[in-house]
């Protein structure tokens, strides 16, 4: 699926380059009566409350109406790519600047630069500059962060207690993590951890611990990870799997979403997820889980705060100013954020967070507190992605499967990765 989308968007980029930028500069229409098309992905609950927010905004601004378009994650990017090819993108799009899914759209100049609206229609005064920068590309503000997010290990304290283990300190290491998993497995006969999710760990967190970046604009072919670090990561996952400390690929493939993670079924103590997934994991069990930073060394260099998601405006939109006003309202309005209830991530605006904290439930308080901790113990998020990022990511996943099925050794897989990199 990702390969097909990547090919489609690459074709789109070529076509748009031939057509020229004038194709994307329609005359700005008067904003007397405006209809804004808006698209997003998500669950049914997200669809329901977002529709409520659109109605709420229209009551406040009767001259603005909306045409909503919403799908699940799997269909969202495919639909968006076809709309882009037809120059028919919605005015406002839920997006992710710096994500592989948006790379070709950005290269094809499909997203408007919102810098001219900042400080006017678009109020970003309550958003940390480091978070605002996650929506920047080549000095252009292509996405507004409406929430913040961070990687976390979610753990079940009851399992640790049954195994006679204390929760690790914030500066624990990979060796400490392996030791804990071994103890849990030996004493309770369950996995220590669910899958270590490579798209989130290998491609972002792990190399930064060792002063490297998986994607690096100054590196050959845009890939900065060394063979040594790549091999060590794959050795780590293989070791966990072979020792029965982590599910194998066959079992992982049977998981039906986040809420079906082994931790939910009492089969593992640790889950490698984004912090807001805490509520999704707790809901089916009625348990109270806790959040932990990822293993070290050098967590402060490796951890990062990212936007939970961005909202972008199409370059082809005739109503950019009005679209910017709506995004600003979504970002800054306390009542709107209370309705969202941090489902899209911890609110990006400081005043909104402060207003929400007194009314938060236990789970949300843990997420807010964890994000505050990480914000003080992290480094800026990597933003560079090569144009062929989807092809590289797919090849990494294919090689990792071969490692975990023991078709290739980690060393052999790493050699194949670097040998084939020029042709991806």
* Res. 26: pLDDT tops 70: no
Q: Work out the mean pLDDT of the chain and round it to a whole number.
A: 91
Rounded CA separation 423/410 (Å): 21
Domain at 151-304+383-423, CATH from 3.40.190.10, 3.30.1330.40, 3.40.718.10, 3.40.140.10: 3.40.190.10
Please name the residue that has the structure tokens 């798209």. Answer: 199
pLDDT band at 128 (very low <50, low <70, confident <90, very high): confident
Rounded CA separation 220/226 (Å): 11
Pairing of strands 64-71, 34-41: parallel
The model's pLDDT over 275-285, given as tens digits with 9 standing for 90+, comes to 988 988 998 99
The model's pLDDT over 240-261, given as tens digits with 9 standing for 90+, comes to 999 999 999 999 988 888 889 9
Q: Does domain 2-146+308-368 have CATH number 3.40.190.10?
A: yes
| Percent of the chain as helix, strand, coil, to the nearest 5 | 50, 15, 35
Look at residue 256 in the predicted model and tell me its pLDDT: 83
The model's pLDDT over 334-379, given as tens digits with 9 standing for 90+, comes to 999 999 988 898 999 999 999 998 989 999 999 999 998 998 899 9
Q: For the chain, which residues make up each domain, given as ranges?
A: 2-146+308-368, 151-304+383-423
pLDDT band at 164 (very low <50, low <70, confident <90, very high): very high
**Residue among 76, 68, 97 at smallest CA distance from 5:** 76
Taking phi over 0 as left and psi of -120 to 50 as alpha, with beta for the rest, 236 belongs to alpha
Rounded CA separation 78/44 (Å): 19
- CB pairs under 8 A, 24+ apart, for 215-222? 215/382, 215/384, 215/385, 215/386, 215/389, 216/384, 217/384, 221/386, 221/421, 221/422, 221/424, 222/384, 222/385, 222/386
Q: Where are the alpha helices (DSSP H) in 42-156?
A: 44-60, 73-85, 103-107, 129-132
Q: With pLDDT > 90 as the criterion, what percentage of the chain qualifies?
A: 78
Q: State pTM to two decimals.
A: 0.80
The model's pLDDT over 86-107, given as tens digits with 9 standing for 90+, comes to 999 999 999 999 888 898 899 9
Equal fold, 2-146+308-368 vs 151-304+383-423? yes
In whole angstroms, how far apart are CA 233 and each of 137, 203, 407? Answer: 30, 11, 17
Phi/psi at 39 (5° precision):
-125, 150
Please name the residue that has the structure tokens 């669809």. Answer: 47
**143-152, 154-163, 277-286, 306-315: range with lowest mean pLDDT:** 277-286
């Amino acid at each position: 699926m990702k390969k097909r989308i990547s090919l489609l968007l690459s074709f789109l980029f070529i076509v748009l380059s031939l057509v020229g930028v004038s194709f994307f500069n329609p005359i700005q229409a008067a904003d007397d009566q405006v209809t804004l098309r808006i698209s997003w992905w998500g669950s049914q609950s997200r669809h329901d409350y977002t529709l409520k927010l659109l109605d709420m905004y229209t009551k406040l601004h009767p001259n603005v109406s909306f045409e909503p378009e919403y799908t699940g994650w799997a269909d969202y990017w495919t639909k968006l790519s076809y709309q882009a090819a037809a120059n028919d993108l919605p005015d406002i799009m839920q997006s992710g600047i710096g994500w592989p899914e948006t790379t070709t759209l950005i290269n094809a100049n499909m997203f408007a630069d919102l810098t001219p609206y900042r400080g006017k229609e678009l109020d970003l005064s309550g958003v940390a500059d480091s978070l605002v920068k996650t929506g920047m590309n080549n000095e252009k503000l292509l996405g507004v962060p409406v929430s913040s997010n961070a990687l976390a290990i979610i753990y079940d304290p009851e399992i640790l207690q049954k195994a006679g283990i204390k929760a690790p300190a914030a500066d624990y290491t990979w060796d400490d993590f392996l030791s804990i998993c071994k103890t849990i497995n030996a004493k309770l006969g369950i996995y220590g951890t669910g899958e270590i999710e490579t798209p989130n760990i290998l491609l972002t967190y792990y190399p930064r611990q060792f002063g490297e970046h998986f994607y690096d604009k100054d590196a050959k072919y845009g890939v900065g990870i060394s063979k040594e670090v790549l091999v060590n990561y794959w050795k780590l996952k293989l070791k966990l799997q072979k020792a029965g400390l982590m599910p194998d690929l066959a079992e992982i493939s049977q998981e039906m979403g986040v809420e079906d993670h082994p931790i939910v079924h009492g089969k593992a103590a640790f889950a490698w997820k984004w912090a807001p997934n805490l509520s999704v994991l707790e809901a089916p069990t009625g348990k109270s889980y806790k959040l932990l930073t990822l293993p070290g060394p050098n967590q402060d260099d490796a951890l990062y705060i990212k936007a939970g998601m961005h909202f972008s405006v199409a370059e082809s939109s005739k109503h950019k100013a009005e679209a910017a006003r709506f995004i600003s309202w979504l970002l800054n309005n306390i009542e709107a954020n209370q309705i969202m209830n941090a489902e899209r991530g911890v609110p990006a605006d400081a005043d909104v967070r402060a207003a929400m904290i007194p009314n938060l439930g236990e789970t949300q308080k843990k997420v807010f507190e964890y994000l505050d901790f990480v914000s003080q113990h992290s480094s800026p998020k990597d933003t560079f992605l090569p144009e062929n990022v989807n092809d590289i990511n797919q090849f990494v996943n294919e090689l990792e499967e071969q490692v975990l099925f023991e078709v290739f050794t980690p060393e052999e897989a790493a050699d194949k990765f670097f040998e084939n990199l020029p042709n991806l």
